[in-house]
Amino acid sequence: MVRCVECGLLTARHRETRECQEVEQPTRETGTLTGPHELPLTCFVHAQRIDVEFHEHKKQGGEGNLPRVTLEVIEQQRECGQFTPWHPGSSPKEHAEMVREELLRKSIADREAADRAWRAEQDEKRREAEAAQKEADRRFHQEQRAEDLARSERIRKEDLRQRWLLAILPIIAGAIGFFIAWVMGLKK
């Protein structure tokens, strides 16, 4: 809960120029306007309709004591999302600009933080993708080595079989020739 009396957006309108000006400390303490200002006090950004509250309090019997009505309105506890601590010597417009600058700084900081978080997330995704690719490459090369070993083993076995055939064929041919010669030698 905040009070308008402590807010830098509390505004007194100049009677002649209609310019929004700072509400000075004496007015904040006593409710009595100083200088060429007029009632009611207002909120520079119209976050609170204290001008309407002022007129309502005035209708309810405060016509004779405007400083008391002013204090009742500006000292009332209320919820306000636009509350800006009062910095004496700064106009309501300057207070509003301070708020905008602070919001801009916060927005930039939030955007930079979000950008850093996004870049970190992208870096993490890139590292994960690189690790997954490295693992896929490792598995591929391992499978290729296994296939190469299996192919080499098949070739070795085929080569061994062919060598056995080449070694046994002359023996079988010799045995057949010997058998034929023996059979032919018996017939004579």
pLDDT digits (tens, 9 = 90+) for 58-86: 887 656 688 888 888 999 999 999 999 99
Provide the pLDDT for residue 55.
86
User: Mean pLDDT of residues grouped by 10 in the chain (188 residues)?
Assistant: 94 89 91 85 91 84 76 92 92 93 95 97 97 96 95 94 89 89 78
- Nearest to residue 43, comparing CAs of 16, 77, 76, 13? 13
How far, in Å, CA of 84 to CA of 44, rounded? 11
Residue 34's pLDDT is: 78
d(CA 145, CA 151): 10
Q: Taking the model in full, what pTM does it have?
A: 0.60
Are 69 and 54 within 8 A, CB to CB?
yes
What are the Cα distances from residue 127, in Å, to 118, 123, 136, 137, 164? 14, 6, 14, 15, 54
For residue 138, give Cα distances in angstroms to 122, 132, 145.
Answer: 24, 10, 10
Rounded Cα distance, 147 and 69, in Å:
94
The string of pLDDT tens digits covering residues 149-172 is 999 999 999 999 998 888 898 899
- pLDDT given for residue 150 in this prediction: 94
Question: Percentage of the chain with pLDDT > 90?
Answer: 59
pLDDT at residue number 185? 80
Whole-number pLDDT of residue 113: 97
The predicted pLDDT at position 186 comes to 73
Check residue 59 and give its pLDDT.
Answer: 80
- For the chain, the structural domain boundaries read 2-90, 92-159
